[in-house]
Chain A
Amino acid sequence: MSEIPTDLRYTKTHEWVRDEGDGTLTVGITDHAQEQLGDMVFVELPEIGAGFAAGDACAVVESVKAASDVYAPVDGEVTEVNEALADSPELVNQDPYGDGWLFKMKPAETDAVEALLDAEAYADYLEEEAH
């Protein structure tokens, strides 16, 4: 069973979002997503300053198996990317909710994360998807 921390928000496209409380959000892919994709070999991150609407493809994670788009969880602008992933894409597998984060963004609406799934709803969604 994959790990789903209760302090994060989630999307149905398997991104997680942490509200840092300073007006920024950190975004990564869930433990379930990294497990499904397998060993990561390449991560393509957005440009800092780039603006995205919720649901836009904004990054790519490539595993040995396949390339997968990562979608912006909310409307906003990218403020920082995880440079360590250029040389160590395996961090996404090893620590998806920690050192394997992908990028940070400044949301257009301050309460945008409220619309995302909480841990329980995401767990239910995974359960549904499995059947």
Chain B
Amino acid sequence: MSRQTPLHEAHRRAGARMVDFAGWSMPLHYGSQIAEHHAVRRAAGVFDVSHMTIVDVEGPQATPFLRRLLANDVARLETPGRALYACMLNPEGGVIDDLIVYRRGPEQYRLVVNAATREKDLDWLARQAEGFAVQVRARDDLAMLAVQGPRAREQTLPLLPAPLREAAAALAPFQATVLEHPWMAARTGYTGEDGFEILLPAEAAEGLWEALLGAGVVPAGLGARDTLRLEAGMNLYGADMTEETTPLESGLGWTVAWEPAERDFVGRAALEAQRAQGVPRLQVGLVLEDRGVLRPHQRVLTSAGTGEVTSGTHAPTVGRSIALARVPAAGAQDPEVRVEVRGRPLRARVVRPPFVRHGRVRV
């Protein structure tokens, strides 16, 4: 039996096709995933992302703990209300998970990690927390809605509880509210568009959901979420990076905080060794020039050997098929490669993601 989010009945009412995702019953789409994709690029859509795991990390040693745990450095979050994207690595430099960390106070942080990696992440957090004066607590009492699109903020703000409204309106990108309030609004997302992610008590989720739909925000499912994030050049854990790949091989070098050199985060030695030897494989973006659809695990033929598509799809805003791929480092310089699509070598242009940002095609 799959787990259900607090919005399960609301999805049924909205005509969702439900699928199992990481042990959760989740909406794939509500009729047309492409229409939902365009709604987010052009106006606003709302995603139920309550399956994501929300974890509060608090205590006198919360900062040193997270500086040890994460490859990005929470010391960059100088003031409460700021957020950071980071990878949690194993000692070999492989990615255990990617996450967003919000600084909530001097000694208070909130992590949002993936649903599919929940048990492994909570285990790892508990083990790594030994010896640190911190409490690690999964917040299963919270739901999470992502409202995304150029009109998302203006359509969401009037529906927020009064005390939160002004603070949410004032947020810069990658900031979150820090009020003593059961709701948290963050100007973050996974679509390449502006918008909010709202973390709120589970029992309040349906009210906000219905109010957003009433205001004309389009319900959007996991299908559109995937095409939007891929166009935005954002990695999907388990596809574009795993425990077998380092951030440097996954287009996530920018999330590794090398300075200060004395910060000894888990996986640092392995990453330094890989960097010194030369990273063997790199992530590239691909735009298919021939007709067809790029899909995960297709072979990519470069001048320096064979690579693999890690995520690929038809991209509704780009109007072509796009992909993220991992290729031999020297092959990443090729202007064009071939991808074996159903037995045929099709031409693909090598580009630097994102493919789309704020509604505009960039490749």
Interface residues of A (CB under 8 A from B): 38-39, 41-42, 44, 60, 62, 64-67, 86, 90, 93
Q: A62-B314, A67-B342 are known contacts. Are A42 and B34 too (CB-CB below 8 A)? A: no
Which residues of B are found within 8 Å of A90, using beta-carbon distances?
Answer: 34
Q: A38-B33, A39-B32 are known contacts. Are A64 and B342 too (CB-CB below 8 A)? A: no
Interface residues of B (CB under 8 A from A): 28-29, 32-34, 223, 227, 291-293, 295, 313-314, 321, 342
| Main DSSP-derived SS at the A contact region | mixed
Partner of A39, one of B33, B295, B342: B33
CB <8 Å contact, B293 and A42: yes
- When C-beta atoms are compared, the residue in chain B nearest to A41 turns out to be B314
Q: A38-B223, A42-B314, A67-B342 are known contacts. Are A62 and B293 too (CB-CB below 8 A)? A: yes
What would 16 A/B residue contacts be, using CB atoms closer than 8 Å?
A39-B32, A39-B34, A41-B293, A41-B314, A41-B321, A42-B292, A42-B314, A60-B342, A62-B292, A62-B293, A64-B33, A64-B34, A64-B223, A64-B313, A65-B223, A93-B32
Partner of B29, one of A38, A41, A44, A67: A38
| Main DSSP-derived SS at the B contact region | mixed
A67–B295 alpha-carbon span in the complex (Å): 9
A90–B31 alpha-carbon span in the complex (Å): 13
Which residues of B are found within 8 Å of A41, using beta-carbon distances?
Answer: 34, 293, 314, 321
CB <8 Å contact, A64 and B295: no
A39–B316 alpha-carbon span in the complex (Å): 11
Which residues of B are found within 8 Å of A44, using beta-carbon distances?
Answer: 291-292
Least Cβ–Cβ distance between A40 and chain B, in angstroms: 9
- When C-beta atoms are compared, the residue in chain A nearest to B315 turns out to be A41
Which residues of A are found within 8 Å of B291, using beta-carbon distances?
Answer: 42, 44, 86
Most-contacted residue by chain A among B28, B314, B342 (CB, 10 A): B314
